Amino acid sequence: MNAARYVSILMVLLLALTACSTRSVESELSRCAFPDSPRTPGPAFLCDATIPGFPLTVLRSSEPSDTSVSERIELTLNDQLEQWSEQWSQQWFSSESERAAAQQYLLPWLVEQSRVVRSRVSPKGYLWLLIGLPVTLDEIEQQTRLGLAPAVD
């Protein structure tokens, strides 16, 4: 299975879980505001990305467009995962071959592990996503190095 298919399956599962959520919108609202609509109260995750069980998170947005919300989520998530795999492989490895191998290892692993933890559309149509990983950056580096280590018979 290629990375795009992993992401597509992940997105369908995430959308199904989000649709089944019974949490009310009001329970998430705080003194926080949407970055693109500063006078409109927004969910707390826009100001504080601390989510239990997800030590590594990033807030991303997608501009308003005619593209469906599910496609915007998928595109934004894919972009973030590609950024992470490129950034971390550059930080952790010195040779070009190691970096390329790390990116090849990291991307499918990130697709499998990452989650869109929170999402909300602002009044101006921006889609705000909190993307998270249930592991620390040190754990990801260790996992990547172990995944790239030559097998010992």
* Per-residue pLDDT tens digits for 15-26: 444 554 444 444
Q: What are phi and psi of 98, to 5 degrees?
A: -65, -40
In the three-class reduction of DSSP (H, G, I as helix; E, B as strand; rest coil), residue 84 is classed as: helix
Cβ-Cβ contacts under 8 Å for 144 (sequence gap 6 or more)? 88, 89, 92, 102, 105, 106, 109
Task: Tell me the whole-structure pTM to 2 decimals.
Answer: 0.75
User: CA-based angle 144:145:146, to the nearest 5?
Assistant: 90
Q: Which long-range contacts (CB under 8 A, 24 or more apart) does 62-69 make?
A: 62/126, 62/127, 62/129, 63/125, 63/126, 64/124, 64/125, 64/126, 69/121, 69/127
Domains in the chain: boundaries:
3-148
Per-residue pLDDT, 2: 62
Average pLDDT of span 6-33: 53
Average pLDDT of span 33-43: 91
